[in-house]
Each structure stands twice: as structure tokens, then as C-alpha cells.
Chains A and B, each alone.
Chain A
């Protein structure tokens, strides 16, 4: 199970990478493995304001559809359009090319609520 230590995680299996005031969001390697081959991604509108914990995207495999929850509150500044033609990037590169969206943080204090790699590893193992 690949869980990069430089990222933060939510218990619902999203990862968050902070760059300045913008958080890039995707799903963990564990999550993509559980889902199986991704066939489609429903991404939110750029500009939408979201709250931490709110459902912002849906990742579909043949047999399931999983809601993706915003790990932090803020405004959606970008979505990964490339996934619409190549959703398989989520499987092959969940932390890189498989990124889903970017949120401009409205409340940096929320980052403290996210899990570090070790804590997330425990969550994933128990799942």
C-alpha cells in the first residue's frame, strides 16, 4: 500500500497536497485498488464553494460509484479535465496524473483535522 508521507489524508480515503493556499485532492492508492478499474469521473464545476466533508465528485468503476468528499473548505479552482478521456490515470497514478481537483483553502486551520500518513495507514488497514 503506497501512502506518501508528504501528504495529508482523510478517513474517507482522499489525499491532500498543500501548495501555498491551494490544496490538490485525489484518492489514495488503497482506494483506487478497492474500486477497481475506473470508468468515469464526475467532476464539480470550477468556482463552486465547498465545505469540508461535502461530496464534490463521483468516481465510478463498473460495479460501484464512490462519492469523493472535500477534505477542506474553500473554492474549487481547477479540475483534472484529462480524466474525462483517460479515467484510468486514477488507477495507474493516483497521487500524480490521477489528481481530481484543486481547492483554494478558506480555513487553513482545517488542515490540522486531516490524518498523517501513519494514521491513515491504520485506517486503511482496518477497512
Chain B
């Protein structure tokens, strides 16, 4: 069996695909100086256009995607990416960020409208569309909270950020990046934050509490109003990680829950494409008292038209170049305009419906359910005794379905987190259940089967230890 070729192994020296436009001949040495020129050109593939097309088309065939496969990854919200959003994005793809603002009024109006729509959905008073990812939004949020405390003379004393033990890794990583100490909060046996532990952890040394609601177990924090009251009484700011907004979008607003800062993941709730890992987009909404700390610029509307606003008195500064992942902001805007409030409400209702339907079905099929009660848009399951989550995940691959999220959250042993999303049909969920049943049955009959899965994927289980011990991070071209 030969290896699938790397692009550098295709083509022949001297072959080429694209032909740039011609230009007047120039003497580069004279113009740029011999000392500034490189001696050897960079080595790139030398392929014809057909070589190129064959390569990347075949590579695409070695890849699972939402368009091809059911992808119930908990915490990722792998909902269908509407194709009309791509058409919309194309209408705005040629605008230069430094064009005279009079020539981009349509783009600015779109951004302004999107700001308003996202504030309405979240119940917040001001917003930035700049951050390029959820984690980037978290950075913005924590920096704003930090600036707020410093402005109030409490910056030095408030050194700690409280994070539940089930939190996504970006939460403590962000706090650490900004110099905060992280204190973990235990989750109670009911799957919600342990209120007694929370009260004990609060104090004048706490800067912020970062929460997701529903939390990473897929459970709604029913005591959120009390949590937010307690946090504010202790002088802390409350941060909302918007990864799980799909469960409540249109039905409840983090602003009403008492959150001071909210980040959204447009690539989750608002279906901008995941792209194999990015780009994402992570707008951050704030309550009025934090509006003066927002990153610059935002978009404002004045008599003369729409404009970028750099006049934010105590801004934390810029987070990135230009204005944000505009192409994806167009896609998210298009989605919101297609759905309207009724559509968003249907999204959350059916996301929660699908998750609970699948929960019941997978329990019947033989999985253990960590919190066997009404969950929200996702739930945590565990394999039957004696089987490992990693092995079941690998076996699923042979059936053309993507596994659920594995080994997250860390607080449940052998966790399998399942989030079907609202765009999947009940037949798809039934088929997934049948696949799991088949896998569990085969595992019973043949103990060798699971640990050696998958068998039919383009490559089988990989030696990840060797990859880490002796990293090979680029192709050896010579």
C-alpha cells in the first residue's frame, strides 16, 4: 500500500498552473539592492492545474464534514452551514479595509445592524465584533474586567478568577494569560455549580467568575440569578462563555441572568463554517458599566452616515488588525436575517428536543447517561463498564459518523459529550443509535474488535507517541 502523496511529491520541475498578468521588465538588483535579495527562491510545489485539482479533490475525499457526515460533537454545535450565506459573503469580498468610509456604507450598515441584533439576542448594552475566535473574545472580556477593577482602585486586590471544574480549557488559559490565578469550583452531584462552595470561594480577592449556561454537562444552572447576586455583592464581575447559547437562543438572555460580559461563538450558534479549525468569530457584549472599556473600533451611526468609532474613553485597545472577521460577520448576519426571532426560538427548541430524544435512545442502546434527566442541547454519556470511550469513538468512524466529543468535560470519567443540534432529523438520530447498538454488540462478541478500530478509514489508528517524541513538522523537500 503506497502512501497518499504530499503535494510536493506531485508534479515535475518546471510544471506550473497559474499565470499572473504580465508587467514591465525590471532590474530587481537595481531597484531593491543585491544585499536585500534572497539567494535561493522558496521551494514550492511545481504542478499543473490538473495535478493541483486532483490532489486537493482527493484530499477532500479523505475528510469528514457536516455536509458529508453526522457530527454530534458536544460543545461544538455542528449545525448545517447554509449555502446562501456563502452567496451573501461573496457580495462583500472585494472591499479594502482602508477604503474611504463613504465607499463602504453598506458594509458598515451591516456591521451596525449585526451589533444591534446580537445585543438584542444577548440582552447586553454594548458590543464589539472584533475578536477572531471565542478564546479571543474571552481575552477581550477578561481584559475589560481587569481594566474595570483597576479603574475602581481594586485591581491589585482582585487577583483570582473562579472557573467551574467542568470549564472549557480556554477559560483558565485566558485567565492565566492575563496574570490571574485560577480557582476551580466543584460541580455538585446535581450537575450544577456547588452553591456552598461558590459562596465560600467569593471574597474581595475575586475579580471574575466565568460560567457557561447551560454548563458543559448540558445542564441549566437553575440558581444563576442567586449566583449572579452573590458574585456582584462580593464585587466580582460575571463572565458568560457563549459556547452553549444554542440551547436558549431566543428564549433567555445572558444579560437577564446578570452577566456583565458575554462572548458569542458565531461559528457555533450562528453557523459560520468551522473550516477545519477556523476562522471563528467571537463578538463580546457588555453591560453599560463596561462599555467604556470596549476594544476599538466599534461601528456607530451618525447623521453623516455609518462610521468606525475610535472614541472609546478607556478602551483596552485593539485586539487585532482592521475590524474583525468581516466575511464571517456577513454570514452570521445573513443567518439571523433568515431566521428572525421565531426561527431562533425554533432552533433552541429543536436543539433541546433532539438532544433529549437521542439521550433516551442511547440509554436504550446501552450507554450510561451521566445525568439521567432532562438535559438541554447536549448531554454526557459513558460507555458500559469495561469499554473505553476512545475505542467506541474509533469504531464509529467505520460507520461514516463522527464520534461525539471524547474525554470532555474532565469531571466525568470516560466522558462522551453528545450534541446533535437542531438541523438533524430524527432518522439520523435513529441511525446513529442503531450504529452504537451494533458496535456494542460486536464488542461483546469479540473483545479484539474495539481496541483495534477503525478498520475502513483512509488511515487507521495512529502512533501519536512517536509524533510527539520525534516531531516531523514539515515535509523533507530534498
Partners in one complex: yes
CA distance A39 to B465 in the complex (A): 6
Give the complex CA separation of A84 and B384 in angstroms. Answer: 39
CA distance A61 to B465 in the complex (A): 8
A62 interface residue, CB < 8 Å from B?
yes
Q: Note all chain A residues with C-beta closer than 8 A to B465.
A: 37, 39, 61-62
A-B contact count (CB 8 A): 14
Q: Which residues of B contact A39 (CB under 8 A)?
A: 465, 468-469
A-contact bits for B453-471, CB 8 A (1 contact / 0 none): 0000000000011001100
> What residues on A are CB-neighbors of B464 within 8 Å?
62
Scan residues 37-95 of chain A and give those whose CB is less than 8 A from a CB of chain B: 37, 39-40, 60-63, 87-88
Q: Which residues of A contact B468 (CB under 8 A)?
A: 39-40, 60, 62
Binary contact readout A7-48 vs B (1 if CB under 8 angstroms, 0 otherwise): 000000000000000000000000000000101100000000
CA distance A60 to B471 in the complex (A): 14
Q: Give the complex CA separation of A40 and B470 in angstroms.
A: 10
Interface range for B: under 10
A42 to B115, CA, bound (A): 45
Cα(A87)–Cα(B465), bound, Å: 11
Nearest to A36 among chain B residues (CB) is B465
Interface string of A96-111 (1 = CB under 8 A from B): 0000000000000000
Which residues on B sit within 8 Å (CB–CB) of A37? 465
Q: Mark B103-140, 1 if CB is under 8 A from A, else 0.
A: 00000000000000000000000000000000000000
Least CB separation from A37: chain B residue? B465
For A60, list chain B residues within 8 Å (CB).
468
A61: B residues at CB distance < 8 A: 465
Shortest Cβ distance from residue B96 to the other chain A in the assembled complex, whole angstroms? 43
Question: Which residues of chain B come closer than 8 Å to A62, judged between CB atoms?
Answer: 464-465, 468
**Considering residues B407, B464, B469, which has the most beta carbons from chain A within 10 angstroms of its beta carbon?**
B469
Q: How far is the CB of B379 from chain A (nearest CB, A)?
A: 23
Interface residues in B425-478 (C-beta closer than 8 Å to A): 464-465, 468-469
Q: Contacts of B469 on A, CB cut-off 8 Å?
A: 39-40, 87-88
User: Smallest CB-CB separation from B464: which chain A residue?
Assistant: A62
Q: In the complex, A48→B469 CA distance in Å?
A: 27
Chain B residues within 8 Å of A40, by CB: 468-469
Given the complex, which residues of A lie within 8 Å of B407, measured CB to CB?
Answer: 63
A61–B469 alpha-carbon span in the complex (Å): 9
The CA of A88 and the CA of B407, in the complex, are separated in Å by 24
When distances are taken between beta carbons in the complex, the residues of chain B under 8 Å from A87 are: 469
B393 to chain A, nearest CB (A): 13
Most chain B C-beta atoms within 10 Å of own C-beta, residue among A39, A63, A87, A88: A39
In the docked arrangement, what's the CA distance between A39 and B470, Å? 9
Least CB distance from A30 to B in Å reads 17
Chain B nearest CB, measured from A104 CB (Å): 30
**Assembly CA distance A39 to B467 (angstroms):** 9
- Minimal Cβ-Cβ distance residue in B for A63: B407
Cα distance, A40 to B468, chains bound together (Å) = 8
User: What's the minimum C-beta distance from B467 to chain A, rounded to whole angstroms?
Assistant: 8
Enumerate B382-427 residues with CB–CB distance to A below 8 Å: 407
Report the minimum CB–CB distance from B407 to chain A (whole Å): 8
Q: In the bound complex, how far is the Cα of B470 from the Cα of A87, in angstroms? A: 11
Closest 8 CB pairs of A and B: A39-B468, A37-B465, A62-B464, A39-B469, A62-B468, A62-B465, A39-B465, A87-B469
In the assembled complex, 14 residue pairs joining A and B whose CB atoms fall closer than 8 Å, in A order, are A37-B465, A39-B465, A39-B468, A39-B469, A40-B468, A40-B469, A60-B468, A61-B465, A62-B464, A62-B465, A62-B468, A63-B407, A87-B469, A88-B469
